Amino acid sequence: MDDEISKNVTKTGTLTIGIICKDGIVVAADKKQSYAAGGGGVAYIAGSAKKIEEVNERVIITTAGNASDSRKVIDILRSEMRIRELRTRTKASVGEFASLAANMLFQNIRTPSMIPSIAHFLIAGYDQEGEHLFDVSPDGYIQAIDNYAATGSGIMQAHPILDSEYKTGMSVDEGIKLAVKCIKAATARDPGVGIGINLYVVRKDHFEQVLDQTAVYELKESSNKYK
């Protein structure tokens, strides 16, 4: 049964990144979705997936972990926070979105199941107090980020680059280049990362998607032609 589950659970074997800049927050993710083999390896590619979701007009969220768990939590988060805003007639803060997501993950991973619930989020957005970035771990731990954060299998390649090249007060343009560099490095080394890059920028009064690239593979003639 465990082998059957491991072969058929869709993973987002992933790299998602959030970078705090002086003039906004850069949020990026790769686009590869795969089925996991036993032991956590990648069995084969399931296709392309959008790993940055727009929760509402003020908040975006990245996904890593089991695709079904991530999507279910996001759907509930979107609905519950909308109901809360209608009832109170006030706009929820980014921290409230992150807190509710953390509570759901805390409960989900501790609920006995044949398929463990695993989801990891970066939540970014703006409210009356400015722009915010939160890291919400699979166990429900929540952390406000003031520099950078990364999730997914690609952190092995991304963290050394972020650690050495991130600078406090860097511009959004510099943050974009840094995020793209991290995803390209992970794509070259991690079989669970790739296919393309999706990237958003969050500012104090709006967010926008600034990059949506898909890798295109092609065959080229080598110097030694087949005869």
- Catalytically active residues are 14
| Identity of residue 108 | N
| Identity of residue 175 | G
Q: How far is CA 9 from CA 3, 85, 173, 181, in A?
A: 10, 34, 37, 29
Nearest-10 Cα torsion for 64, 70, 73, 74? 80
The phi, psi pair for 191, rounded to 5°, reads -65, -15
| Identity of residue 139 | D
Strand, coil or helix: 56: coil
> Which helix (H) or strand (E) covers residue 85, if one does?
helix 67-88
Q: How far is CA 46 from CA 103, 135, 143, 207, in A?
A: 30, 26, 31, 29
